Amino acid sequence: MNDDKRIDGKAFSASVREKVKRQVETLQRDHGITPGLAVVLVGEDPASQVYVRNKAKQTVEAGMRSDEIRMEATATQAEVLEVVDRLNADPGIHGILVQLPLPDQIDETAVLDRIDPAKDVDGFHVINTGRLQVGLPALVPCTPRGCLMMLKDRLGDLSGLNAIVIGRSNIVGKPMAMLLLQESCTVTIAHSRTKDLPELCRRQDIVVAAVGRPHFVKGDWIAEGATVIDVGINRVPKDDGKTRLVGDVDYDEAVERAGAITPVPGGVGPMTIACLLANTITACCMANGIEEPA
């Protein structure tokens, strides 16, 4: 019974990647265009290296061009900006992603804002943030785009539903709230100063947890039948001295009340790279003035 409630992000992301692969084939066949994604990694952060390797692998599997630019941890701001400028000018590159976090000597905002907004597949540039805000076509951050896809797949029309987003980051919380508002949800954005959060949560049809605190959201915060999207990826110690990944939601408690819920791992996580590929298709089609293939 509880198995039916589990939203399988792994299977869903595979279907998104299959669609992207078909779109790449169509773009090549009908327009002679191969979408290209460049990822810039500065330094040796182990988690970033894993992300970047997975991104490159999935980009190639989707049939796209994949460029990986690795720079020393001691790279200067001017050197990173020079790489961004070169990629901005490369007509074969449709998407640029600079992996975060960047080393301390580099001004993150300055780098992100140097990326051509038309190639900003992370959707972090202020131009894309602003376009999303006013409802213009925009490149949307990958994780919220993936969350919305899963919500619409499960619930269909979201219009009129009450939704709470817990967390107000620029990467997840704020864009997620904007996307839900665009779907005509009534949206609450909660954060560390929010009063009576459990009570507020219990009034929601949709709960998106993006606070970065293990098992922050308890089972009795969830209304009977609500849909729960858990964006958290927290590494916690186990009794045997090893570690495991848990979400921001106490899954075992919440699954008893939720109508549908994403697990961690295997929920939102796999959707992020799939949406990065989908964003690269979007950017490629916009750059060439063609409609996105079905």
User: Among residues 119, 120, 122, 250, which one is catalytic?
Assistant: 122
Residue 35: its H or E element: none
Cα–chain center distance at 234: 16
Q: Which is nearer to ligand GUN, 212 or 219 (CB)?
A: 212
C-alpha span between 174 and 4 (Å, rounded): 30
Instruction: Report the residue closest to ligand GUN, judged by CB.
Output: 100
Q: Name the minimum Å distance from CB 51 to ligand GUN.
A: 6
Instruction: Let me know if 133 is a catalytic residue.
Output: no
What tokens does 199 get? 């009570």
Q: Choose which of 93, 96, 97, 228 interacts with ligand GUN (CB under 6 A).
A: 97
User: Among residues 99, 174, 205, 230, which one is catalytic?
Assistant: 99
Q: Name the minimum Å distance from CB 141 to ligand GUN.
A: 7
Q: Would you count residue 100 as binding ligand GUN (CB under 6 A)? A: yes
Q: Name the minimum Å distance from CB 171 to ligand GUN.
A: 6
C-alpha span between 89 and 41 (Å, rounded): 19
What tokens does 176 get? 């997620």
What tokens does 144 get? 């919220």
C-alpha span between 25 and 289 (Å, rounded): 17
Q: For tokens 């988690």, name the residue.
A: 47
Pairing relationship of beta strands 234-237 and 243-246 according to DSSP bridges: antiparallel
Q: Would you count residue 56 as binding ligand GUN (CB under 6 A)? A: no
Q: Name the minimum Å distance from CB 52 to ligand GUN.
A: 9
Using CB under 6 A as the binding rule, the residues of this chain from 106 to 135 that contact ligand GUN are: 122
Give the active site residues: 55, 99, 122
